[in-house]
Amino acid sequence: MGHLDHAAFGWLTPLLSYVMACIGAALGLRCTVRALAATGRSRRNWLFTAASAIGTGIWTMHFVAMLGFRVSGTDIRYDVPLTILSLLVAMVVVCAGVFAVGYSRDRNRALLLGGLTTGLGVASMHYLGMAAVRLHGHVRYDPVLVGLSVLIAVVAATAALWAGLNIKSPLAVTVASLVMGAAVSSMHYTGMFAVGVQVNPADDALPGATAMQFIFPLAVGLGSYLFITSAFVALSPTADEREASASAQRPVESAAH
């Protein structure tokens, strides 16, 4: 069995991946709050932004953490198409869950269905990402820890959607995003502790790209998207602020007449 190191750069990758998960969760929750206060096209756009933020945050968290993954006795490469597919899966399933909650009349049923769908999708993203790993050896999984990681994903996704429906204040969103970041990180590392590798040393070149060639630039790009979108959301007026502005303009218009 090869020795697995989940934090080859020390606390840097776990901490940075946690920060990315928190930013994605916070941005997604704020966008969901905006969506529920909007109607028509505006609601749909806010929900798309929420889904892309949460999905991007989860995927970036996973692969930033994977930058610290090492196995003694073998190099590691990543299958590019499978890695991109894992990103698309994360985006699609989170979008389905967010829209189910955003448009359903029966919020409780939508919450349970959306949480289950999104949680299973997040777990699928994680294990698709692991399926993209190429190394000299065979990867095995502890089924109990795999099941636990899937359960954590479902609970975390349900909690995130519940928070989007029920939490409004910026302070509460901040606290919820910190909890969600911890839940997503726990799901990832539970899944990683389920991994065992039987190394078969070989001199053959592994197919795929290294983490620094492919994952690092992609993670930086998606992280930049999260920061830019966060700034956009922070500067966009809320429904209450627009209403207050409109109310302030009415007396001026009345006086002018």
- Using CA atoms, how far apart are residues 93 and 87, in angstroms rounded to an integer? 10
Predicted pLDDT of residue 150: 92
Closest residue by Cα to residue 157 from 70, 68, 28: 28
pLDDT in tens, 19-55: 988 888 888 888 887 887 888 888 888 888 888 888 8
Residue 252 reports pLDDT greater than 60: no
In the three-class reduction of DSSP (H, G, I as helix; E, B as strand; rest coil), residue 182 is classed as: helix
Residue 228 reports pLDDT greater than 50: yes
Contact partners, residue 150, CB within 8 Å, separation at least 6? 119, 120, 123
Amino acid at site 75? D
Closest residue by Cα to residue 57 from 237, 205, 182, 181: 181
DSSP conformational letter for 214: I
Residue pair 219/64 in contact (Cβ under 8 Å)? The answer is yes
User: How many whole angstroms from its chain centre is CA 79?
Assistant: 20
CA dihedral 142, 144, 145, 149 (to 10 degrees): 130
Predicted pLDDT of residue 143: 94
Residue 249 reports pLDDT greater than 60: no
- Using CA atoms, how far apart are residues 157 and 164, in angstroms rounded to an integer? 11
pLDDT in tens, 53-107: 888 888 888 888 888 889 988 889 999 899 889 888 888 888 888 888 778 777 7
Tokens 């990103």 correspond to what residue? Answer: 87
- Using CA atoms, how far apart are residues 28 and 101, in angstroms rounded to an integer? 13
- Using CA atoms, how far apart are residues 134 and 103, in angstroms rounded to an integer? 41
Predicted pLDDT of residue 245: 47
Neighbour-count burial of 255, counting CB atoms closer than 10 A to its CB (0-12 exposed, 13-18 middle, 19+ buried): exposed
pTM to 2 decimals? 0.82
- Using CA atoms, how far apart are residues 114 and 158, in angstroms rounded to an integer? 7
CA pseudo-torsion sign 17, 83, 224, 212:
positive
Length of the chain: 257
Question: What does the block give as tokens for 243?
Answer: 């209403």
pLDDT in tens, 107-122: 778 788 888 888 888 8
* Mean pLDDT to the nearest integer, 198-222: 83
Q: If you average pLDDT over every residue of the chain, what do you get? A: 83
pLDDT in tens, 143-185: 999 999 999 989 888 887 788 777 777 777 788 888 888 888 9
Predicted pLDDT of residue 239: 55
